[in-house]
Structure 1
Amino acid sequence: MKVYLGLDGGGTKTDASALNEAGELLARYIGGPSNPHSATLGVALTRVMSAIDGLLERLQTDVADMTSICLAVSGFSTKEEQACLKNAVLQHLLKRGISIPVFIQSEGQISLMAALGNSFGTLIISGTGSICYGYSPDGSCHRTGGWGHLLGDEGSGYRIGLRAVQTVMRSHDAAQPPTVMTGMIMEEYCLQQITDLKEYIYHPSHTKAEIAAFSKLCIGAAEAGDPAATAILSEEAEALSDTAAALLRQNPVLMTLPVVLSGSVFRYSRVFYRLFCQRLLKFSSALEIVDGSHGAPPSTGAARLGKLLLDETDGKSKHHHRQQ
């Protein structure tokens, strides 16, 4: 039996999957965040290796069955960073007696593979952070957004969560009308009064993920019809759709390919999803929008893409030998 490993690492979790040759899921493991910009490089690499080990332990199959591994870890974007990641994974696997090809791809490519079965099209991610990717059939890659929580991340869980806590404090000051998010936050975080939120927010150990977690309460408040929460989702959906439209405008070939929506904000907020689609379809009503937020996880797309890349490599090798 041939086994293909796939890993999707990000600012919230590291998701690893193993598939057989028929594409059936054999095992899955979810570990902690592995984006090096959310922690240190050493911590990120440790969590990647832990996810691989966790997957292999759940898989419980012969090491000889391992065929390839494909990884996409956000934050490892430069050639130097990807080379570091690839070498670390190679060395880690060798220690376990596993010698297989290691492919490093982008989060966009593995998500498109999971949703569409191929790795070209447009991908809009709204999770802890946000980014828009475009992959053309000629192999070229384009992107807009993805500048992090200080420079960008419009329409992300972080931005929505941050605006939610800012809104309840402005509501407390009577600078904005009352919002049900105030009571929801006090109950969820066991606060005696909303001013206790300050201590929680500024605690030095809290990361982007803790701020992004407030987006769930904003989403719930919007579903209940809270005007302040709905305004936040509407404005953030509009901002992200404008970023997506900029990508499509710069690369007209992408207008003919599917647009896949992925990430926790699209998955959990139908309000955000609907507002985003409405805005983007105003830019181009002919776009095919695919909901990838409830489909196969990107880690399975990584495993499938690893199989495809290995098949292509083997095919080129056989062609080369025939020519000789």
Structure 2
Amino acid sequence: MRVYLGIDGGGTKTDAAAVDSEGSTLARFGGGPSNPHSATFDLALDELNKVIHGLVSSLPQKDVRLEGICLGMSGIDTLEERSLVKKAVSRILAEWPGDHPVAVASEGQISLMAALGQEFGVQIIAGTGSICCVFAPGGSYWRTGGWGHHLGDEGSGYSIGLRALKSVMRSYDGAEPPTRMTDIILKGYGFAQITDLKGYIYQPSRGKADIAAFAKVALEAARDGDECAIRIVTEEAGALADTAAALLKRRPVPPGNRVVLTGSVFGHSPLFTRTLCGKLQAIFQELVFVEGASAAPPSVGAALLARKWFGGLG
């Protein structure tokens, strides 16, 4: 059996998938982080080794021929890094029959392949951070946003969460009206009073993800009709739409006019999604939005890319 492998490697986890020559998913396998900037390059390669062996071992048939692998990995940016990854993965695959070609794609390309069946299109990400990308059919890539939580990340979980935190404290001071977000935080975090939030937030161990977790507070309160939360969610969605519009005004939308929406904020907030899509469609009426949450996992997209590139499909 001819098998193609795909890897979605990140700073917190690694997901791997295998597909057959027809594109059907055969197996999935997960592991720890494989972003070399989250640990070391050697540790990242060790994790890839474990995940690839685990994936191949979990295949329903053992008589397989590995025809290629595609890796979409965060933190792998330079040509030198890509070359090191390719060589290391080639050594890992050498123990199995097959030609073992190795490709390194971007995280956006494997996500688009999973959602659209092609590696080109528009992607808007609103997770812990945010970024907007255009991938052309020839492999060219452009972006707006993605500058991190100090310089940008509008519409991200971090930005929404930080605004929620500030709003509940301003509400406590009487500078803003009462907000349901206060009660949600008190109940969810077990605080006796909202002023306990200060001691929690300023602990040295608190990081970006801890702030982003409070986005759920704003999204829940907005669903309940809280005016303050609704304002935060809609303004952040509008800001991210502006970031995407700036990109789309400069770069043509690839064939199909499809925009893939990925990230936890889209998944948890129909209001956020409606606001962003509405603002963009008012400018670009031809856009068609696809929710990434309903698509196959990016690891499957990576495996399908390996099948496309190494299986003679294009």
Q: Say if 2:258 is the partner of 1:258.
A: yes
SS, match of residue 154 in structure 1 = coil
Q: Kindly indicate whether the alpha-carbon contact (under 8 Å) linking 1:63 and 1:98 is maintained by their aligned counterparts in 2.
A: no
SS, match of residue 8 in structure 1 = strand
Aligned residue for 2:65?
65
Identify which range, 180-189 or 32-41, moves more after superposition: 32-41
Aligned residue for 1:319?
none
Distance of aligned partners of 1:227 and 1:60 in 2 relative to their CA distance in 1, 3 Å threshold:
same
Letter of the 1:267 counterpart: G
Aligned residue for 1:268?
268
Aligned residue for 2:74?
74
Aligned residue for 2:301?
301
Distance 1:119 1:298 in 2: 11
Q: Kindly indicate whether the alpha-carbon contact (under 8 Å) linking 1:121 and 1:259 is maintained by their aligned counterparts in 2.
A: yes
Structure 2: any 5+ residue segments left out of the alignment? none
Distance 1:54 1:172 in 2: 52
Structure 1: any 5+ residue segments left out of the alignment? 316-324
- Spell out, residue by residue over 1:186-237, the C-alpha distance to the aligned partner (whole angstroms, 9 max, x if none): 2222222222223332333344333222222221111111112111111111
Identify which range, 144-153 or 202-211, moves more after superposition: 202-211
Aligned residue for 2:311?
311
Aligned residue for 1:190?
190
- Spell out, residue by residue over 1:62-119, the C-alpha distance to the aligned partner (whole angstroms, 9 max, x if none): 3743322211122322323333433443344457898722211011111111111111
Structure richer in helix, relative to its length:
1
Aligned residue for 1:109?
109
Aligned residue for 1:218?
218
Distance of aligned partners of 1:88 and 1:161 in 2 relative to their CA distance in 1, 3 Å threshold:
farther
Aligned residue for 1:20?
20
- Spell out, residue by residue over 1:25-55, the C-alpha distance to the aligned partner (whole angstroms, 9 max, x if none): 2222344454455556565555544443443
Q: Say if 2:249 is the partner of 1:249.
A: yes
SS, match of residue 134 in structure 1 = strand
1:155, distance to aligned residue in structure 2 (A): 1.1
Aligned residue for 1:280?
280
TM-score for both structures, normalised by structure 1: 0.85
1:307, distance to aligned residue in structure 2 (A): 1.0
Q: Say if 2:86 is the partner of 1:86.
A: yes
RMSD between aligned residues: 2.7
Distance 2:186 2:180 in 1: 10
Q: Kindly indicate whether the alpha-carbon contact (under 8 Å) linking 1:248 and 1:255 is maintained by their aligned counterparts in 2.
A: no
Letter of the 1:237 counterpart: A
1:138, distance to aligned residue in structure 2 (A): 3.3
Aligned residue for 1:7?
7
Identify which range, 49-58 or 146-155, moves more after superposition: 49-58
Distance of aligned partners of 1:269 and 1:228 in 2 relative to their CA distance in 1, 3 Å threshold:
same
Identify which range, 3-12 or 112-121, moves more after superposition: 3-12
How many pairs were matched up?
314
1:2, distance to aligned residue in structure 2 (A): 1.9
Distance 2:307 2:269 in 1: 33
1:12, distance to aligned residue in structure 2 (A): 4.9
TM-score for both structures, normalised by structure 2: 0.88
**Percent of paired sites with the same residue:** 54
Q: Kindly indicate whether the alpha-carbon contact (under 8 Å) linking 1:38 and 1:207 is maintained by their aligned counterparts in 2.
A: no
Q: Kindly indicate whether the alpha-carbon contact (under 8 Å) linking 1:128 and 1:212 is maintained by their aligned counterparts in 2.
A: yes
Runs of 4 or more, structure 1, over 6 Å off, are: 95-99
- Spell out, residue by residue over 1:236-270, the C-alpha distance to the aligned partner (whole angstroms, 9 max, x if none): 11111111111111113548631121222112211
SS, match of residue 137 in structure 2 = coil
Q: Kindly indicate whether the alpha-carbon contact (under 8 Å) linking 2:155 and 2:240 is maintained by their aligned counterparts in 1.
A: yes
Distance of aligned partners of 1:207 and 1:103 in 2 relative to their CA distance in 1, 3 Å threshold:
farther
Aligned residue for 1:135?
135
Distance 1:136 1:280 in 2: 20
Distance 1:165 1:96 in 2: 52
Distance of aligned partners of 1:36 and 1:275 in 2 relative to their CA distance in 1, 3 Å threshold:
farther
Letter of the 1:236 counterpart: E
Aligned residue for 1:231?
231
Identify which range, 90-99 or 124-133, moves more after superposition: 90-99
